[in-house]
């Protein structure tokens, strides 16, 4: 992880992630780990929020906390554009974008 707080310290390993484009078109690549205790978050299209099933934390498309108990935003992953427009390269892994 590039940055983080709570359970997500910079340099910790993330085993998955989300690529999200916000309303302004900015691309964010987040670790799948909730910053509260590290549970895997999921995108909820109906609410347009990332949600943690363990303790109910919710995060906006920008990764900011919308509802606790998480006190820190989602951690960003270091990334670069892949070989095609719909590829994101994160360290040694390639994630395909959504949206």
pLDDT, tens digit, 9 for 90 and up, residues 24-49: 988 889 999 999 988 999 999 999 99
Q: Which pTM does this prediction carry? A: 0.81
Q: Output the CA–CA distances (angstroms, integers) from residue 66 to 4, 13, 69, in the order listed.
A: 16, 24, 10
pLDDT digits (tens, 9 = 90+) for 65-78: 999 999 999 999 88
Domains of the chain: 17-96 (2.102.10.10)
Residue 17: count other Cβ atoms within 10 Å of its Cβ.
22
């Amino acid at each position: 992880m590039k940055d983080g707080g709570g359970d997500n310290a910079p340099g910790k390993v993330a085993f998955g992630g989300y690529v999200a484009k916000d309303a302004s078109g900015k691309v964010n690549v987040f670790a799948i780990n909730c910053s509260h205790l590290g549970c895997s978050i999921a995108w909820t299209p109906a609410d347009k929020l990332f949600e943690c099933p363990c303790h109910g934390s919710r995060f906006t498309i920008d990764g900011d906390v919308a509802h606790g108990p998480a006190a820190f935003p989602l951690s960003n992953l270091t990334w670069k554009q892949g070989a095609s427009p719909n590829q994101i390269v994160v360290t040694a892994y390639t994630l395909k974008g959504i949206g």
